[in-house]
Structure 1
Amino acid sequence: MSKFYSSHFSITLLLLLPNLISLNLKSQIPIHERFDVSKGLHDNTAYDISLDYNGFLWITTDEGIQRFDGNKFLSFIYTDNINKSGSCIQFDYRGRVWYQSFDGHLFYVENDTVKTLQHFKAKNFTTFRIIDSILTFYNGNSLVKVNLKTLNIIDQLFLPNAEISSIVFFKNSYYISGNGIFRINVDFKKIDTLDTRPGIISIFTNDNELFYQTKSDISYEVYKLADTTKILFYSDVVRINWIDLKNNTYYISTNLGLQIQERNKKNYLMTDYKFSKTFFDNYGQLIASTLNAGILIIPNENDIKYFHNLKENFTSTIFTQNKIFLATGLGKIFEFDITNKKSKLLYADVYKRQINHFIFNPNYNEFVIILNNEVKIIHPDGREIFSVENVAPKSVTIIDDKYYFVTATGGNGFLEHVFNPLKKSIWDSLYDASEKVNKFRKFTNLYRNRDVIFSSIHKKIFISTNTGVIIAGSNGDISAPNPNLFLKELFQIKDDIYGIDFKNQLYKYDYKRNIFNPIKIPYSKNDVRFILSNNSIFFLIFNRIYELKEGKPVETDLVSNQNIKYIYKFNDIFLEISNSHLSYINNISERRINFPKKIIINHVNGKRPNDTENIEIKYEKGQDVRVNYTFLNLDKRSTSRLYYRINQGQWNPILSGTDYLLFPSLKPDKYTIDFAIKEFGKLDIIKAFNIIVTTPIYKQTWFLILFQFFILILFVLYVLWQIRLLSKKNKLVTEKAEIEKNLALMTLKSIKAQMNPHFFFNALNTIQAFIYANDKLSATQYLSKFSKLTRLILENSEAEQIDLASELKTIAIYLELEKMRFVNNFEFDICTCDDIDTESIYIPTMLIQPYVENAIKHGLLHKKGEKFLRIYIQKISDNQIAVEITDNGIGLTKSQEINSKKSFAHKSFSSLANDKRIVLLNKIKGGNYKIEIEELFDQNHISKGTRVRILIPYTA
């Protein structure tokens, strides 16, 4: 059985208890939208409404006049201390809006400002008429015509003591009511008396017929005028405020609601509202003003709300072939007959306990009701058939003619039908094997069970629990299709099983694969709300109702309502159940009226558009372009959404209620802005206009050329003057700079020339030492290595830079010589990173050797034990290397102490020379040569050597 016979959303739904004899009188009300002070209307007392030529709705209240675009109210305030409440809204040839105050003042709105014609004030409120450019009103003595172009009186008809109350214009004649009904031709030449009976209070027309109203001691009477013939149209104790006509049906506005009269049949609707005026707009909607509830828009007077006054909540609904059953939060069940639109109360719990969920079994004509702690089976006449208490039930479904299946907080199991205990069922063996607990058999002990669905075709029970979904068969097998899937709702359409999880994701069960597959909706799950139905899946996105067809969302023409919980389709009728009523929606295709929506551009950065829809604004740096517009759309059935684009670009959605677009810092150019509405996946452009951002005069081509030419002349004159003044000075500066550069180069060569002999002197001393020691072999080996080193130094002595490979080769031979000099009592290692190509990197010659010499002489020479020196070269950027010279000698501190004890302060000649050389290299080559010297310590803060880090820019 479909879950839509037993859906149980916890929803708040107000119902009207049908305790009146005539249900059509009190239990139904047309679906409408109300606009009152809570939505921006000045006052809930609305005396008059009218649509202007653009489609704006104008309203008069006690606070003056307002304009409504379907979304927002715009107020027009007259600041002088006079009575602004009034009626009789009309429009002249220039689009100005007029109305008359109840004190007789004539107001009009022009350029968003309210003005008044003080010198044409009427004696009291009598209504007035505008025909083309002529305004006609009664000033207390005369009927006066005013030319609205010049605001001068052009004609008068003297009518003393006429006591005029109303003026209308009908079929090219004026009709006035006062101490009679009179017809006056348009040129004021002829007056016909049509009725002189006492008590005439008003005359009005719906543009098709003419009516006047009289008042006696016991009733109001309304007569319809046809030429000179008078026909009694209405007689009642209730006064009429307005009469509208559509399709041979009269809509009569009264203080006791809206009376609908068709073929001598009368029906009062919305009796809580005091209607002052009604009319049908271009969308076929009935728009009404009331004296106690603001403005009402009724999209279709045949779409009716039911149960709108019941002070209870809906908790669950059931849909059958031609009936809907409704359960409430106070334990009642109502039946609504779809065919005859009648409802009746079937059941009321004596304790007024909330019905959380219920199903209807048509085979036994009984309801199974889920209360907080009890399962009840009742007959539609209210008789209780069976009950199980203290089970904390959650949901129930029908398995067959013998068993129900119940889920509860502490478990789930079978409930045997009391009328068929001897009937055979495929579930008998499971029932007999289940534990008997409190009048039903517990199938599992799973806690926190939620929902249950039965597939009659596949004979499977689907149970949603807090540990996932389980599926049980009649042979006792249990499967868990998705171990980590937690569904809050299960429902069924035909034999398809669906579920919704706590993240609002929709799933469909695959019988073949035994798995719940997610159904992808092309919107954020946070924007989607699913609505249960009897034969389809509906959901709400951005206040629009879609239907899921073949796995894709298709926009419908249903009325959008955020509070809709169920949609049931019955033939050509849709039944919507929301949190306030049951709505009876007629054939949607007949309700749709295509009438264009409007976009009106109010201004762009304060500037109004011209007749060609072009708006020209001046460019200012950093200026944002703000387009203020009005989306004029009174159609309350519309599901259209507004979009915009600029210069044929991408369409962008506009949030509902937004009345401006902002374009940051538009450069001077012409921009085309398009507005479109999207309905049923199609975009229709409803407005296009141009914004022309003009170039400032100081940025226009002719100005720039002239200005640049002027600047060029000034610049040439200035340059010539400066050349004459600075030529000698620049020459002296150039010569001085060249001399300083040559001097620096010569100094650098001198230092390098001094370094080479210094090195040779040290080497010769070592050879001499070997000869003195009579160590011929060492002297021979040393002399061989020395010759190689000498050749390398001589080959590179004239070059400013050599490749790194040659420099390292020279240092390696030098270290071998020093190692022999110190009788092999130290080790060394030269290491380069893999990403360094030593043959393609060029550095200044003899830049590294002096620091290697210092490491041996001042660090390793005085150390006892193992001695080690390491040279490590790495690339630190694309044009710079770092050379680290690390020794495990005595360290800087100890070395300085030894030197301080000598008879004179000592600093290596090579170090002094290299320091000068580094300064000169940075000055001449503009490089980033840098020396960093660091003493190394162990964890006991005892010196363990020295590290010298040389940063050398290189060229490849």
Structure 2
Amino acid sequence: MCTFLCVFLIGITNSLAQNFHLKNFSQKDGLPSLHIQNCTQDNTGYLWIATNKGLVQYDGSDFTIYTTKNGLISNNVNVISTKNNTVFIGTNKGLSIKSYTGFKNFESSNVNCILTVKDHTFLGTNKGIVRVREGYLSPIRTNFQIDLNQVNDIQFDGSFYWITTNKSLWKLDKLISPTVLKRIDLDNYTSILINNKTVIATTYDNGIKLITEGAIETLTTTVQNIKGIKKINNQFWVISKDEGIEVLDDSFSFERTINKYNSLTTNQITSIFQDTDKNTWISTENNGLYLIKNDKPIQRKPTISFENISVVYQTLDSININNYPKTLQLQPNKNHISFYYKTVDINNPNKIEYRYKLNNQASPWTTKNSVDLAYLTPGNYTFSAQSRVGKSESTPIEFNFFIDTPLYKKKWFIWSSVALTCLILSLFIWLYIRRIQTKNKAKVAKLQLENHLLALEQKALQLQMNPHFIFNVLNGIKALGNSGNSVELNSTISKFATLLRGILHNSRQEEISLAEEINTLKNYIELEQQMNSNIFEYTISTNLTIASEEILIPPMLIQPFVENSIKHGISSVKNGKIDINFSIKNDFLHCKILDNGIGIHQSKKLKKTSTHQSIALSVTQERIQNLSKESTFSISEIYKNNEVTGTKILFKIPLKTDF
């Protein structure tokens, strides 16, 4: 009896397996793990498989595995959703979004479900609902009983959002700032299926709930621990965590079970998915992926899409390459463009062929799905690609691009270059002539300046010593000789000789030390004291940070001012006084000459002849100002109680040393 029962069960199992055309995919076929959580399909036709060891892409023949090494946020993938050719991957550490350029990652708590509605994508996590924003995730605040609990599924029926948590079932008109927020029932709800006007919700322990126009009907199932429900070929497939699959007809009556006792090798089912060819994929927790192939293949045209377009090996990452309506503008040096296109047919992966056209020049059919177009000439291009499976051909896809003509080949550039060359040549000639003229002017100006300086030096030499002063000194020497005062006579002759020798020596020098200038001034002033009928005093002081022997100045620069003070300033006052001071400030040598005379303006009025001293002062002033643009000179009267008490002469020249 037992033998008969075993043979009977084996016969039923084989019969169901043959009827289903069941195929199992495991690690030996290319899967990274036997633990499969979820699978789905994108617009191109790729099957995307979630495992606990990474994300898997399947094109009907090859498995491509993506892990954290490729940029995935976590290898433990829970759920997958696609929009166009963008893949949303929910993991235990957050969300990864894969486009043809790579992954973008966003950290959050464990992601259980993904819903994309129009331009919005929402995640159901272990801590409420999260909205996917541009560059970050934004938690949505609805109700603390949703926000703090595990959200297992979110569905939209066109008017309302249905949310299942591990505590209850909810109905909202909007996820963001809802005005309708209603709790339908308390239970551990696991999934939702929208079937026309009926909402089908599954609970983990208490069967299936049908919600129609607010009324709730409970359906008891033969399986427990329900994880979800899918509609496959007008049947409802109820997924149990550890009791396989229960199949119900369209009136929710029991039809059969699919489990390890009749077809599968495991009862631990995680999800079910039906692809565009009506093939059913069963994900299991411990035995890989099962395929129930459709007995009646669907006759449909293959679809083709661009997987990547690169210009000079750089991916175009700023556009949607399959929906790019404009013409891509390329620079002349960007004339190497590569196209990658793909058709996925899970049932016939080895029967796919491709061809492309470039401006109506078609290539032969081949299995190659890429082409490199190098060294393209400037102009407009239309690239199209097409695929076929057997005799069925896809609708071609197109991409328009334009390669600009090199700048040096454009007519306007050539003519502009000729004109610019002529202009530059003319400008060069003009500048050359202008430079020669400028040099000539500079030479003339330099010669004029040198001539002017020489004239000033000559005038300065001519005016270094007043003839009247020499006459007075010689008369004084004569008078001393007649009086027989030999001591004073010898002293006067010695001072006068020293003064003349210093003047003659300095006249041959462009610059002398400040110490020499001070010695010459002392000899001159002392002779003036001796020859002058009016008694006066003088002081020469220094406030220097450098020794006076190391400071260089033009010769006889101070004497004309001192002579003017003696002859016209203090000559009319008793107890005259002249103070001379030298100091250094900010890399300049400053000179200050003070007297207690009648003032510069009054002295000018009293002068009977002004040729010598006026010329001497103006020449010396011009000498000072010609030493440097930063040299300054000023003469002013000193006032006390609104009365003139003297004259002040100030000037500064750049500090120059002999080291």
Flag the structure with larger Rg. Answer: 2
Q: What is the TM-score normalised by the length of structure 2?
A: 0.45
Structure 1 or 2: more helix by fraction: 2
Structure 1 or 2: more strand by fraction: 1
